[in-house]
Amino acid sequence: MKKIGLFYGPMGGSTERVAKKIATVLGNENVDLIPVKESKFTDIDKYENIIFGISTIGKETWESDKSANDWDVFFPEIEKADYTNKIIAIFGLGDQITYDLHFVDSIGILSEKIISKGAQIIGQVDTDGYDFRESKAIVDGKFIGLPVNEDFEPELTDERINNWINQIKNKFK
């Protein structure tokens, strides 16, 4: 397998912790962990196998011109990259207990941006086991990436990661 570029943000919280766990499960030697904050589209272009990690921190943030969170800075770079020969998987931190109408929305927002650029996304996840009302991450009845809730369901994180990695690892190039 070619090396996976795991681009994640923000740093210092649950997304980073889960990114590191995913790298450990895949084998750290197979993964470059790359904070999106320090990345450009030319970094994306270096990898054919990519995992994106993102958290959802509210509509007002991602639609604001003034926000400068890590992903807001990276989104314009995402749109410059070419995805035609890449395999992409997405995981997202969120909380369906407090935000049941916007659960992991940013997985969906991110996926839309890259699908429109020709990306092939692997790692769809069944909604069973997640109690929520609405999510922009649902595509054709499934989550288009892996939702992880470290706020209220941390005891489920390892199993969710392991199942997901088993599902995707053989699909990378």
Ligand X SMILES: Cc1cc2nc3c(=O)[nH]c(=O)nc-3n(C[C@H](O)[C@H](O)[C@H](O)COP(=O)(O)O)c2cc1C
Measured from the CB of residue 42, what is the shortest distance to ligand X in angstroms?
25
Residue whose CB is less far from ligand X, 39 or 56: 56
Measured from the CB of residue 46, what is the shortest distance to ligand X in angstroms?
24
Report the C-alpha gap between 122 and 87 in whole angstroms: 7
Task: Give the burial class of 86: count Cβ atoms within 10 A of its Cβ; 0-12 exposed, 13-18 middle, 19 or more buried.
Answer: buried
* Residues in touch with ligand X (CB under 6 A): 10, 13-15, 55-58, 93-95, 99, 102-105, 150-151
Measured from the CB of residue 2, what is the shortest distance to ligand X in angstroms?
27
Residue whose CB is less far from ligand X, 49 or 106: 106
CB 84 within 8 A of CB 44: no
Nearest to 27 by CA among 61, 48, 1: 1
Measured from the CB of residue 8, what is the shortest distance to ligand X in angstroms?
8
3-state class (DSSP) for residue 120: strand
Residue whose CB is less far from ligand X, 87 or 161: 161
Residue 125 DSSP class: B
Measured from the CB of residue 156, what is the shortest distance to ligand X in angstroms?
13
Residue whose CB is less far from ligand X, 43 or 151: 151
3-state class (DSSP) for residue 57: coil
Residue whose CB is less far from ligand X, 130 or 172: 130
Task: Give the burial class of 100: count Cβ atoms within 10 A of its Cβ; 0-12 exposed, 13-18 middle, 19 or more buried.
Answer: middle
